[in-house]
Amino acid sequence: MAVIETRDLRKTYGTLEALKGVSISVEPGQIYGLLGQNGAGKTTLIKILLGIVRKTAGEAELLGAPAGTVNVRRRVGYLPEDHQFPYYHTGRSLMDFYGQLYGVSPDDRKRKIPEALELVGIAGRMNSKIKTYSKGMKQRLGIAQALLHDPDLIILDEPTDGVDPMGRKEIRELMARLKDKGHTIFLNSHLLGEVELVCDRVAILQRGEVVREGTVAELTKATDKFRLRLGEGQAFPTDVVARLGYAVAPLAERPGTFEVTLASGQTIDPVVRLLVEGGLSLRELVEKKESLEDVFMKTVEGAEPGVDQKVRTVQQVQRVRAVGGEG
């Protein structure tokens, strides 16, 4: 049974379409990445899954039940983007407050709060006021509250926002540990390098539609290009390799390194054989692949601003008109 399942999911605001038939499936134990430009429909999708916004048409299920079912929402942990916690709380008191909302017993809260804060690396500051926390510490606290009730599904919206590189690495490792424990993670992030490192599958939304979906390996396929570097002081036989039918170009950013592009049906083997038989020392041979960022940029290049963004703009205009502003 899929943890998240949407089929032809649609959401309209008047004549504007925020989601145009989105169909995705997230299996148990996966880390699933949701990518898209601002306004692509990501937030709308998450709000429908959580029952905050009603769908217009199609199907949306969470943990085998219709999205928004109260008992199912109890099994979900959620970290929203740009969350705000009351500054008068300490980390411990905020977690205790959320634990009560989740229905966690007093004894379990006493045990789980230090464990959750230790897991995200801020247990040493649990008794400090949140107003003294850095942006990264607040983000870690947000992740801790999403984990407190041991949910089956964890929805994280920009979990590494404002976190330094070391902190991002620790959060990636935390997500991997949660996956190993059987949790399913639905991740929305603008940091494509982070998504590529941690996600099993990825969906790219563009103007309310899924335009690419698959495993990271499927999306970041090989490009038929190889990077080669010879031993120091050795000259690359560019002309000879070119006569074999390969395109060869030096890489300006990596002196002494060349990029060899294969034509249809070619392999890199004849080039390697040529170099070895010529007495040259091959120090580096790397098959180039597209990064997830490359795939994303090609997919959304030239796309108009998303529908979500347009909806907000229309609403803002309506509010201005309602108070006697612009005509």
Q: Give tens-digit pLDDT for 106-121.
A: 999 999 999 999 988 8
263/248 same-domain check: yes
Position 301 scores a pLDDT of 66
211/240 same-domain check: no
Q: Please, are residues 72 and 181 in contact by the beta-carbon 8 Å criterion?
A: no
Last residue within a domain, chosen from 166, 184, 219: 219
The answer to whether residue 88 is domain-embedded is: yes
Q: Please, are residues 159 and 187 in contact by the beta-carbon 8 Å criterion?
A: yes
DSSP 323: T
Structure pTM? 0.77
- pLDDT tier, 308 (very low <50, low <70, confident <90, very high otherwise): very low
140/257 same-domain check: no
Contacts of 180 (CB under 8 A, 6+ apart): none
The answer to whether residue 310 is domain-embedded is: no
228/198 same-domain check: no
Q: Give tens-digit pLDDT for 127-149.
A: 999 999 988 899 999 999 999 99
The answer to whether residue 316 is domain-embedded is: no
41/181 same-domain check: yes
Position 302 scores a pLDDT of 55
Residue 253's domain comprises 222-289
213/227 same-domain check: no
Phi-psi category of residue 150: left, alpha or beta, with phi > 0 → left and psi -120 to 50 → alpha: left
213/232 same-domain check: no
245/196 same-domain check: no
The answer to whether residue 68 is domain-embedded is: yes
Q: Please, are residues 122 and 139 in contact by the beta-carbon 8 Å criterion?
A: no
104/226 same-domain check: no
Last residue within a domain, chosen from 219, 254, 274: 219
The answer to whether residue 214 is domain-embedded is: yes
155/249 same-domain check: no
188/226 same-domain check: no
For residue 323, which amino acid is it? V
CA-based torsion, 167, 47, 82, 188: positive or negative: positive
The answer to whether residue 311 is domain-embedded is: no
87/122 same-domain check: yes
CA-based torsion, 40, 42, 44, 45: positive or negative: positive
